[in-house]
Structure 1
Amino acid sequence: MNKRISTILLSALFSVSAFAAPTSYSVDPTHTFAVASWSHFGFSTPTAVFAGAEGTITYDAEKPAQSDIAISVSIETVDTFVDKLTEEFLGEDWFNAAMYPKATFVSTKVVPKGDNKFAVTGDLTIKGTTKTVTMDATLNGMGEHPMSKKQAIGFDAETVIKRSDFGIDQYVPYVGDEITLRLTTEAQAK
């Protein structure tokens, strides 16, 4: 009899959690970065890292297609690991950080692909220009964060864009127009 009662209680518990509401998470700026990489004359693949992330991820484990992401990074935080290039990136001919201090991504559609993979389509805005892009995203983990004890979530996402589409076309085609853009993010429940 006790085993039957335990089974009923466990079933009730799991069916209640199956109808849990979507969870909203605040992006952790210390563990969220955008990394851009490109071809340099066909010889190497340099990178630039953007930090200063802000935003919200709302994830619905039961209905992931109803999830959404709104995230930004600070252009002023760019680090190319080459001082002169970092300085150029901040200027008017490149990102024009004074006029356009943030790059943003706001999702418009989330398509589950199975095995914690998603196609996330949204509006990417860089230097005042907005283009629709689709990012291939992977849910890395979800659960209680060991440090904060809050619920947390982490994703990686990647897409390829043309920088010239955003008005950044210096040295094309010698320095690659195609940019691999990768976002790694960690967020904690609000």
Structure 2
Amino acid sequence: MKKLSLLALALAFSGAALGANGTYVVDPLHSFARFEYNHWGYTSVGGRFDRTAGKVTIDTEKKLGSVDVVIDAKSVSAGSAEFNEHLQGEDYFDTKKYPSISFKSDKFNFEGDKLISVDGNLTIKGISKPVTLVLSSFMCKMHPLFRKDYCGANASAKIKRSEFNAGKYAPFVADEVMLNISLEAAKE
């Protein structure tokens, strides 16, 4: 009996993304984009964006999907109001002119039944570049508290900030930035 229960549990989790078809709305309370870079060779520093919105559509049977996520660039949080203001300036995010960052995709990459990456376009300061978000985890299942279908993913990518007209002080402050995105979304 115990072996049967463990087998059923294993099968449930191995197929957690299967049958997750539909459109999911980003949960802004549990979704964050973070960034990290080397600061003058001393340390790795970074921050996050506190407001994210958007939708993810997935069809695991056909192995198709789309992502349309918008990040409020003015919600950048790097540890102090002064540094947040600095990052919102013209040399970096220029939030007066470009208040949002977006990622749009219609290409999901599967390895068997497992979603492993998403190819799309990242737009920062009005400049769009192709970016592949590599998923370290992806799962869809019934949320135990909200009692509705949820999907969650952790994704990462490396970009060069100079490609988005935000390369001040490079290479002393690293041009390469690691993006880490944690996203939870509820089925519409």
Tell me the TM-score range normalised by the shorter chain. 0.7 to 0.9
Q: Partners of 2:81 and 2:111 in 1: how far apart? A: 40
Q: Which runs of 5+ in 1 are unaligned?
A: 1-18
Corresponding residue for residue 32 of structure 2: 33
Q: Partners of 1:108 and 1:57 in 2: how far apart? A: 10
With 95-104 and 110-119 compared, the bigger mean Cα shift is at 110-119
Shift of 1:101: 0.8
Shift of 1:21: 8.3
1:112 aligns with 2:110: yes
- Cα distance, 1:37–1:21 mapped onto 2, change above 3 Å: closer
| Paired residue secondary structure (1:49) | strand
Residues 119-177 of structure 1: CA deviation (Å, up to 9, x unaligned): 21101000110001111014432111112111000011100000000000111111000
Rg larger in structure: 1
- Structure 2 counterparts to residues 9-48 of structure 1, below 5 A: 22-48=21-47
Q: How high is the TM-score relative to the length of structure 2?
A: 0.85
Percent of residue pairs identical: 33
1:68 aligns with 2:66: yes
Residues 10-55 of structure 1: CA deviation (Å, up to 9, x unaligned): xxxxxxxxx9683100000011110000001122110110121111
Aligned with residue 101 of structure 1, among 93, 99, 102: 99
Runs of 4+ off more than 3 Å: 114-117
Q: Partners of 1:35 and 1:21 in 2: how far apart? A: 26
Does the CA contact (< 8 Å) of 2:108 and 2:115 recur in 1?
Answer: no
Corresponding residue for residue 56 of structure 2: 57
Does the CA contact (< 8 Å) of 1:126 and 1:166 recur in 2?
Answer: yes
| Paired residue secondary structure (2:163) | helix
Does the CA contact (< 8 Å) of 1:116 and 1:138 recur in 2?
Answer: no
- Cα distance, 1:147–1:121 mapped onto 2, change above 3 Å: same
- Cα distance, 1:113–1:21 mapped onto 2, change above 3 Å: closer
Q: Which runs of 5+ in 2 are unaligned?
A: 1-17
- Cα distance, 1:182–1:92 mapped onto 2, change above 3 Å: same
1:157 aligns with 2:168: no
Q: How high is the TM-score relative to the length of structure 1?
A: 0.84
Q: Which amino acid aligns with 2:50?
A: A
Q: Partners of 1:185 and 1:49 in 2: how far apart? A: 13
Higher strand share: 2
With 152-161 and 109-118 compared, the bigger mean Cα shift is at 109-118
Count of residue pairs the alignment pairs up: 171
